[in-house]
Amino acid sequence: MSSRIRAIAFNTFRETVRDRVLYNLVFFALLLVTMAPLFGQISIGVQRVLLVNLSLSAISIFGTVISIFVGISLVSKEIEKRTLYPVLSRPVGRGEFIVGKYFGLSGTLLVNTAAMALGFYLALFLMTRDFTRADANVLIAIYFIFLEFIIIIGLALLFSSFSTPLFSALFALSMFIAGTFAGDLRTFAEITHGPQKWLAIATSYLIPNLTSLNVITRVSHDQFIPRALVAYNTLYAMFYAAATICAALLIFSRRDLK
Amino acid sequence: MRRRATVFSACVLLICFLGSFFTLRRIERANLSNSMEDVLFISSPQFVKRASLGYSGLLADIYWMRVVQYFGRKHLRDSMEYKALAPLLDITTTLDPNLVVAYEWGSTFSRSTSTQRRRR
Amino acid sequence: MLAVEILGLEKTYAAGFWRKKQKLALRPLHLEVKQGEVFGFLGPNGAGKTTTLKLLMGLICPTVGTARILGQDWRDPAVRARIGFLPEQPYFYDHLTPIELLDYYGTLSGLSPADRKLRIPKLLERVGLAEQGRVQLRKFSKGMLQRVGIAQAVLHEPEVVFLDEPMSGLDPIGRREVRDFIQALNDEGKTVFFSTHILSDAEALCDRVAILNRGELRSVGVVAELVSQKSNRVEIVWQGKSAVPAIQSLGGSCHVAGETVRAVLDESQLQAALDALKNQRVRLISVNPMGGSLEEYFLQNLGEAVEVRS
């Protein structure tokens, strides 16, 4: 079974890369390069804060867009183009297919994020000519951003397993926005009174918690990120992503493929 | 056999979801997230208003909620650090000048903090 | 052991906005395909041929009914390793080359790397794509894609091969090649189950055929038997327009092209027709019994317009 999942994952990776998804790296590089002259105008301390904020936000946004839009097309494109038929007529389970696709896209985003991280560190080195302890801290923020991606990819897969590309994109985007404000939504749920309280609380835990995964500002101010948070976030992302995949699996297994 | 696979997947789904739920509770309890800097991602009121893309009313409400939560938490811990309070209130009222409750309670919050400072 | 046993497979779709209406795509189908046969699945568009194939491949779920392939439950994943499938108008990953595609499918079918390395070049040569092994599939023409499709269907040397409209969209050369290929597969002892609406192909290749219309099985049988059913019609070709009214009065339908006339009429009128033509002093070109073709059988039994290609 694992050789099939690996084959599907690798094929997804290959297809995505050849579809020129990695060209977004070019835009990222362009972004950093065009911002460089701006940096020259400001004092060193703020320079670093700005670079960290800008780069990490860009990594987050670019990656999220890829996660949503490529994630959705993973299943729906295969169904629409009927490339799925020769695959499923082989001894491949529908679950293996979904899991393979998931790992394929996650792998692509891993490569993408790593490349951007490299670009960022290069820019940082060019700016400060020195590596400090705090710079390693930024890696944690980038790791958290990657954890965000694996959650969003899971959601994109889930929605595309039963809905059209347009609605899948809408749902995934909505979940992303809701997830960004997850902390506030939980606060709101706790303040609520009455019978809706349980519904509000349930919803606030249902949406992905992207708030704790966003430590960009903290890292730009060289604040310490507790190890416990790293551990809990990793655990959370794995649980949540696994849950979305299970749900996607359950739905996709039942689906008639027109 | 398919039924067994379905039941198995459903159980895994439930376990994973509960896992995420409890992990999240843990994160919140330990208060590992949402430091002041996160809450105040951008500190300039004008910038926030412009960045809100017309949804300033909604954002004002969100910021207001953060004021309430922030004040509640800090107050509980009896800390003297209310640094973020003024900027938060500033942003809230800039985003939505008509959010009266912010002005009312804002003055109460500020007064109680200055009273506490005087007591020391 | 039968190659394929379809036991009452039925498919109903819920249609309409509120999904209340029932649309019957396939009525309960009972069919048997013997091992080593070339079995043709015929019918006009929308008859339910593709639905049946999709049901057998597990792509859609039947409303009722089961099936067995090579003696096992059709949903059993182990069975999938022993069958091959070519979907209708296949489409593959744009950015892959045939070699990469076959390698991928081969892995999914459980072939070892050594096996794949050995078989893929030979297979590509067999379907005539040896030169294009490293060209990305998005540059392929329809005919070439069809060949890739056939290659992937037989890569893992399945015992039963299912082909959905394998000739569709091909030029006569392509179709001839596919026909030869199917024959070759059969010579190797494989069972071939293919659906088509081109009757001449079915006539040439199949041991038995099943005819479907509007989701219902109309008849099953050996081609020779179905075809030999009486048709009672005769075709006469001659030169000389002047004879047309005489023949028409005998109940024949005439088709005129320049000076050549082709008429079809009832067998019983043959003698009278020949006499009339002799009287008119026309030049007789040919007299042939009509029918004895699957097309005739089809038209008579279904009364639908069907493609005729020769």
Secondary structure of chain B: what % helix, strand, coil (to 5)? Answer: 75, 0, 25
Contacts of A250 in chain B (CB under 8 A): 6, 9-10, 13
DSSP secondary structure string, B41-95?
SS--HHHHHHHTTT-HHHHHHHHHHHHHHHHHHHHHTT-S--TTHHHHHHHHHHH
The answer, yes or no, to whether residue C306 has pLDDT greater than 50, is no
CB C129 within 8 A of CB C152: no
Q: What is the pLDDT of residue A86?
A: 92
Minimum CA–CA partner of A96 in chain C: C108
The answer, yes or no, to whether residue C53 has pLDDT greater than 70, is yes
Residues 6+ apart with CB under 8 A from C94: A15, A19, C136, C137, C138
Give the Cα separation of C58 and C74 in Å (integer). 8
Instruction: Output C237 or B51, whichever has higher pLDDT.
Output: C237
> Considering CB atoms only, which of B13, B27, B62 is closest to A246?
B13
Give the Cα separation of C289 and C229 in Å (integer). 13
Would an 8 Å CB–CB cutoff place A3 in contact with chain C?
A: yes
Q: What is the pLDDT of residue C305?
A: 42
Cβ neighbours around A45 below 10 Å, total: 8
Q: Are residues B50 and B74 in the same domain?
A: yes
10 Å CB burial of residue A63 (0-12, 13-18, 19+) is buried
What confidence tens digit (pLDDT) does each residue in C226-282 have? Answer: 766 656 778 888 888 887 888 888 777 888 888 888 888 887 888 888 888 888 888
Q: List the beta bridge partners of residue C31.
A: C6
Q: Are residues B95 and B40 in the same domain?
A: yes
Q: Are residues B38 and B53 in the same domain?
A: yes
Would an 8 Å CB–CB cutoff place B44 in contact with chain A?
A: no
Shortest alpha-carbon distance between residue C125 and chain A (Å): 21
What confidence tens digit (pLDDT) does each residue in B39-48 have? Answer: 555 566 776 7
Q: Are residues B54 and B96 in the same domain?
A: yes
Would an 8 Å CB–CB cutoff place A200 in contact with chain B?
A: no
Amino acid letter, C161 = V
Domain carrying residue B105: 34-119
Shortest alpha-carbon distance between residue B79 and chain A (Å): 20
Cα C10 to the center of its chain, rounded Å: 21
pLDDT > 70: percent of chain B: 58
Closest CA to A123 of A54, A71, A75: A54
Would an 8 Å CB–CB cutoff place A98 in contact with chain B?
A: no
Q: Are residues B23 and B68 in the same domain?
A: no
What confidence tens digit (pLDDT) does each residue in C173-204 have? Answer: 888 888 999 999 999 999 999 998 788 888 88
What confidence tens digit (pLDDT) does each residue in C67-88 have? Answer: 999 989 888 888 999 999 999 8
Specify the range with the lowest mean pLDDT, choosing from A70-84, C102-116, C142-156: A70-84
Contacts of B6 in chain A (CB under 8 A): 250, 253
Q: Do B65 and A191 touch (CB under 8 A)?
A: yes
Contacts of A186 in chain B (CB under 8 A): 28
CB C244 within 8 A of CB C256: yes
Which of C12, C108, C154 is the mutation pick for testing A, counting most A CBs within 10 A?
C108
* Mean pLDDT of chain C, nearest integer: 85
Q: Are residues B46 and B105 in the same domain?
A: yes
Q: Do A246 and B10 touch (CB under 8 A)?
A: yes
Q: What is the pLDDT of residue C191?
A: 93
Q: Where in chain C is the domain with CATH 3.40.50.300?
A: 4-227
Number of domains in chain B: 2
Q: Where in chain C is the domain with CATH 3.30.70.120?
A: 233-290
The answer, yes or no, to whether residue C309 has pLDDT greater than 60, is no
Q: Are residues B83 and B64 in the same domain?
A: yes
A neighbour chains, 3+ CB pairs within 8 Å? B, C
List of chain A residues with pLDDT < 70: 36-45, 133-134
Q: Are residues B83 and B95 in the same domain?
A: yes
Given CA atoms C102, C106, C112, C118 in this order, what sign does their dihedral have?
Answer: negative
Instruction: Output C90 or B52, whichever has higher pLDDT.
Output: C90
Q: What is the pLDDT of residue A136?
A: 80
- Residue B35's pLDDT band (boundaries 50, 70, 90)? low
Q: What is the pLDDT of residue A219?
A: 84
pLDDT > 90: percent of chain B: 10
Shortest alpha-carbon distance between residue A80 and chain C (Å): 10
Q: What is the pLDDT of residue B14?
A: 92
Q: List the beta bridge partners of residue A35.
A: none
Q: Do A14 and C83 touch (CB under 8 A)?
A: no
> Considering CB atoms only, which of C78, C85, C110 is closest to A86?
C85
Q: Are residues B55 and B5 in the same domain?
A: no
Mean local confidence (pLDDT), B73-78:
60
The answer, yes or no, to whether residue B92 has pLDDT greater than 80, is no
Q: Do C105 and A86 touch (CB under 8 A)?
A: yes
> Considering CB atoms only, which of A181, A217, A246 is closest to B12?
A246
Amino acid letter, A136 = A
Amino acid letter, C60 = I
Residues 6+ apart with CB under 8 A from B29: none
Q: Do A246 and B32 touch (CB under 8 A)?
A: no
The answer, yes or no, to whether residue B29 has pLDDT greater than 50, is yes
C neighbour chains, 3+ CB pairs within 8 Å? A
Report the topology of domain C4-227: Rossmann fold (3.40.50)
Q: Are residues B69 and B111 in the same domain?
A: yes
Q: Are residues B67 and B80 in the same domain?
A: yes
Pick the CATH number of C233-290 from 3.10.129.10, 1.20.140.10, 3.40.50.920, 3.30.70.120: 3.30.70.120
Q: What is the pLDDT of residue B82?
A: 64
Give the Cα separation of C109 and C114 in Å (integer). 14
Would an 8 Å CB–CB cutoff place A83 in contact with chain C?
A: yes
Q: Are residues B57 and B10 in the same domain?
A: no
* Mean pLDDT of chain B, nearest integer: 72
